[in-house]
């Protein structure tokens, strides 16, 4: 599987537009080489460099396998992030440069659960259903 963005490349800085200092909208994402028998996709965006431990910025599940993510869009059912919201919360590190992991999972099922589940709940539910995964890492430091 492959996960890319036209807004930034792997290991590159995420443009300000997609952060708390900009428009705070999600970047466009493209999913490629999805396993043939996948039924749905899950996207989790988190920051492992946060001072208090990994900070979750976006959780989306039950994404159709033929989807791609347009800028400022919701491709599936949104879970709750660590901001306490059910939407995309852009990079907003308190200090230094942080890494932001965009993680895509292909599942052999739809999760069919209500919106608002957190990352831990989604990871437990999808554990036995992952057919493939991909990752895109961007960085950001406040300007």
- What is the average pLDDT across 91-116? 96
* Residue the block writes with tokens 């800085």: 13
In the structure, what pLDDT confidence band is assigned to residue 121 with cuts at 50, 70 and 90?
A: very high
pLDDT > 90 in the chain, percent: 97
In this prediction, residue 67 carries a pLDDT of 75
**CA pair distance 7, 49, nearest whole angstrom:** 22
**CA pair distance 50, 32, nearest whole angstrom:** 29
Structural domains of the chain, count: 1
CATH number of residue 103's parent domain: 3.90.280.10
Range of the domain at 113: 2-140
- What is the average pLDDT across 91-119? 96
* Residue the block writes with tokens 């995964």: 133
């Amino acid at each position: 599987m492959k996960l890319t963005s036209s807004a930034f490349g792997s290991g590159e800085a995420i443009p300000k537009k997609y952060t708390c200092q900009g428009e705070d909208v999600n970047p466009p994402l493209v999913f490629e080489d999805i396993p043939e028998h996948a039924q749905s996709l899950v996207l989790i965006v988190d920051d492992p460099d946060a001072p208090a431990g990994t900070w979750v910025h976006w959780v989306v599940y039950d994404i159709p396998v033929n989807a791609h993510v347009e800028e400022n869009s919701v491709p599936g059912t949104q879970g709750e992030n660590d901001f306490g919201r059910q939407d995309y919360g852009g990079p907003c590190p308190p200090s230094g440069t942080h890494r932001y992991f965009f993680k895509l999972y292909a599942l052999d099922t739809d999760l069919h659960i209500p919106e608002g589940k957190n990352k831990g709940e989604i990871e437990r539910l999808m554990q036995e259903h992952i057919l493939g995964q991909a990752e895109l890492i961007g960085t950001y430091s406040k300007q």
